[in-house]
A and B are shown apart, each in its own frame.
Chain A
Amino acid sequence: MATVEEPQARVDEAPIATVETTVAGEITVAVEPARRPPGRMPPRQWIRANLFRTVANTILTVLFGSALAYAAYRLLRFVFVTADWEIVRRNLRLFMVGRDFPVEELWRVWVSVYVLAAAIGLAVGVAAAAAAELARARGHPVARATPVGLLRRYWPLLLITGVALSFTRTVLPSLLLVGGVAVMLAARYVGRRAGVLAKFIWPTVLLAVVASVVIVSGFGGVEWDDWGGLHLTLFVTVAGITAAAPFGVALAVARRSSLPALRAVTVSYIEVFRGVPLVTLLFMGQFLVPLFFPNTVEPPSPLLRALIAVALFEAAYIAETVRGGLQAMPRGQYEAAMALGLRPWTTTRKIILPQALRNVIPAMVGQFISLFKDTSLLSVLGFTELLAVVDLTINQPAFQGRRLHPVAYAFVALVYWAVSYSMSRESRRLERRLGVGTR
């Protein structure tokens, strides 16, 4: 999610709004002198102003207070008393990698996690360095992240990691995870000092993603079709977005083209794929994709068919997101490029697209989140991704007929929630930092 800010910031660009935080944790604050945050009220005054201002307000407070207190009581009772978490504890591996993943090959998953951790660390480090550079150029002070700040920022992820680790029976996963965090921090340190090599960060990240797939599936490893659980969910999300992004960007550019034939074809593609539910496309992918391949080649595996459907669907949505960014580009950019004598294609490639893509990053994170949630539809097709594992576990002899659905669903929901919620918060931060919509 790291964006590399242009290191050469113009000094005359006066900060307008409060510029806040970077991807990596340094906080650059430019307090606007005119609008200072209101001073803290003493608690008694705050309670009166926010809870008991009027009679109606007081009634609302009492009503909602008791309802929330009861809900909290029920929730705590469920978590600590009534729920039998044994179903998750015994099946944690199923939730993580699915049913068909051989235990003796689990090390491959860990290696790929380490590779990804290193790549993410590098990217975050490079972004942090760029942001610090920018802050220096603009003359803002650079503040270091505090432990409280980090906790407030990452608590959903910390929560789910803690919950998952509390279900492990050996200490090994915890140790491995600590190692992963250490690798990430070390990579971040390297990334901050990468200097000119920072240019190659995107290819490096892409390479790491490909490597993390090959490490698990290649070299006598586990085939895609045996993947499952959270591993499969994340894989489908990342692979779907990665495959769809170039296609989607091309569609968006084509849709803005001045050639009517190009426009007509792309508009029909986008409208058709956006107008149809994803489940329909997934089922069609399973039934129809093999029929469109020549019968001389072997038809694609079920997972590949699902991936094709996801990518075709996602491309249409990415195209619309990118189109938003393209439409928001001021005319002056085109006119300036034209005045410089650039050709239309060069203008798009060198001037318009880089800026437009940077501006739609928050919206793209939003797309990523929806796809992450939508991968749950694969369970309807019979893939054992995260949600489908619930059905597997509650039908095990030890848990059958014990009405444990809520327990298993609660765990899965927490995983989905923690990932989506933290990503959506990061995208909102990014949005504020990029100043999208404030220009």
Chain B
Amino acid sequence: MFNVRVLRVAAQAVFLVVVVVVLLYLADNYQANTRGGSTGWGFLREPAGFGITDTDFRGGNSNWQAIVIGIRNTLLAAAVGIVLASIIGLIVGIMRLSRNWLVQKAATLYVESIRNIPVLLIILFTAAAFRPLPPIGDPATPLGWFVISNQWLAIPSLIANDTVPIYLGLLAAAAIAAVLIGRWRTKASERTGAPHHRLLYGAGLMVGVATVGWLALQPFDVSLPRVEDGVIIGGFRIGVVDYAPLTLALALYTASHIAEIVRGSILAVPRGQTEASTALGLSEFQRLRYVVLPQALRVAIPPTLNQYLSLTKNTSLGIAVAYSDLFNIVNRIVNTGSPALESYALVMAIYLIISLVTSLLVNLVNRRYQLVER
């Protein structure tokens, strides 16, 4: 008879040999096919054959600098998209549990219509929806604070003065003081039974210091945007052609999934928990804050992080509206004759790092919350 242990080792060895042989065969074909072409990582230091509009990036800058801009743009779209998606998703998810029939149906309508349409179609539709805005030559300027056109959207921005470090230091000191006061009030409350008013004292201090400091130091100047000869001067610009449709569409689409997570995780908290907290005499707010939401959060966080990850990956669809995200930039690098395998391997590696960090986070959260379980 065969020894099981020998068999196991043999089977694995055979499997690994097959995998290695297949990979070697592919690598051999690849080398034969790319003979004479450019390979290796040297292209990262070479000058890019293209410029990126609306940035200082010109053809003379290196491919690596272009990739850094791409990573920055990807993260910019992802970060804002995630914040928007969370807010919309939370609101819609709670609306789906509303006792008001109309509110509930409106939320269901949103979720069921957005979820079943390709996200690429939503991006293109949003881009088309922005097109009828006034042209940059004749923009709308509500209140004189904003500029709205079909090229750029501009909002007032802050310009830092010399006093910013002092102001930030002041804020940090106030934050530390607020935490200390909170601790003191908690202890005092536990000792005497008097109401603690932690939030009142702590937040009051913060707001007070922030306001007084702002008035005294004038740390920021407000810059209002205006248009001169089709160019926006001052303020903070948001691209209406590429950035805004991409981010907004991704947020709307992901929000429909987050809404379902919110609804499901609140429903997953057993009814008995609600009934028990009512029996204990907790108020509506206390019930949500201390009983329902902590338990719902435990269910909701891992799938929500996965949604954030998929939103980040979906920023690669920016290519459809010519947004200069990581993937679009690398595509242009490939099109200017850089080696395709290395370039795409780099993109894959960067996305993989993002997704592995996310899974790591999911696992950490799972472990932390599983300890609470019985």
Contact = CB atoms under 8 A, between A and B. Distances in A.
Contacts of A412: 121
B119 interface: yes
B11 interface: yes
Interface in B116-145: 116-121, 124-125, 128-129, 131-132
Nearest to B26: A292
B100 A276 contact: no
A274 B355 contact: yes
Given A406-B128, A421-B116, A291 B33 contact: yes
Nearest to A425: B112
Nearest to A424: B116
B52 interface: no
A279 B30 contact: no
B15 interface: yes
A387 B121 contact: yes
A377 interface: yes
A166 B102 CA distance: 32
Interface in A35-88: 50-51, 53, 57, 60-61, 64-65, 67-68
A436 interface: no
A255 to B, nearest CB: 13
Contacts of B115: 420, 424
Contact of A416 (B19, B106, B116, B320): B116
B344 A409 contact: no
B356 to A, nearest CB: 7
Interface string A412-433: 1100110011001000000000
Given A265-B19, A295-B32, A275 B131 contact: no
Given A279-B316, A295-B33, A379 B120 contact: yes
Contacts of A202: none
Contact of B116 (A259, A261, A403, A420): A420
B301 interface: no
Most chain B CB atoms below 10 A, which of A57, A276, A295, A380: A276
B29 A291 contact: yes
Contacts of B132: 403
B102 A377 contact: no
B118 A373 contact: yes
A284 interface: yes
B100 A61 contact: yes
A387 B118 contact: yes
B121 A64 contact: no
Interface string B344-366: 10011001101110010000000
Contact of A64 (B30, B103, B359): B103
Interface in A288-319: 288, 290-295
Interface residues of A, number: 54
Interface in B303-359: 313-314, 316-317, 319-320, 327, 331, 334, 340-341, 344, 347-348, 351-352, 354-356, 359
A425 to B, nearest CB: 9
A294 B327 contact: no
Is chain B's interface secondary structure helix, strand, loop, or mixed overall? helix
B102 A416 contact: no
B2 interface: no
Contacts of A417: 113, 116-117
B352 to A, nearest CB: 4
Contacts of A262: 12, 15
B341 A51 contact: no
B344 A288 contact: yes
B327 A280 contact: yes
Given A275-B351, A275-B355, A374 B99 contact: no
A380 B341 contact: no
Interface in A384-403: 387, 390, 403
Interface string A269-285: 00110111101100110
A292 B347 CA distance: 19
Interface of B: 8, 11-13, 15-16, 19, 26, 29-30, 32-34, 98-103, 106, 112-113, 115-121, 124-125, 128-129, 131-132, 313-314, 316-317, 319-320, 327, 331, 334, 340-341, 344, 347-348, 351-352, 354-356, 359
19 contacts: A51-B102, A53-B99, A60-B102, A61-B100, A64-B100, A67-B106, A260-B12, A265-B19, A275-B355, A276-B351, A276-B352, A277-B313, A283-B327, A284-B344, A376-B121, A387-B121, A409-B121, A420-B115, A421-B116
Interface of A: 50-51, 53, 57, 60-61, 64-65, 67-68, 258-262, 265, 271-272, 274-277, 279-280, 283-284, 287-288, 290-295, 369, 373-374, 376-377, 379-380, 387, 390, 403, 405-406, 409, 412-413, 416-417, 420-421, 424
Going nearest first, the 8 A-B pairs with the smallest beta carbon separation are A275-B355, A405-B128, A420-B116, A261-B12, A50-B101, A376-B118, A373-B118, A277-B313
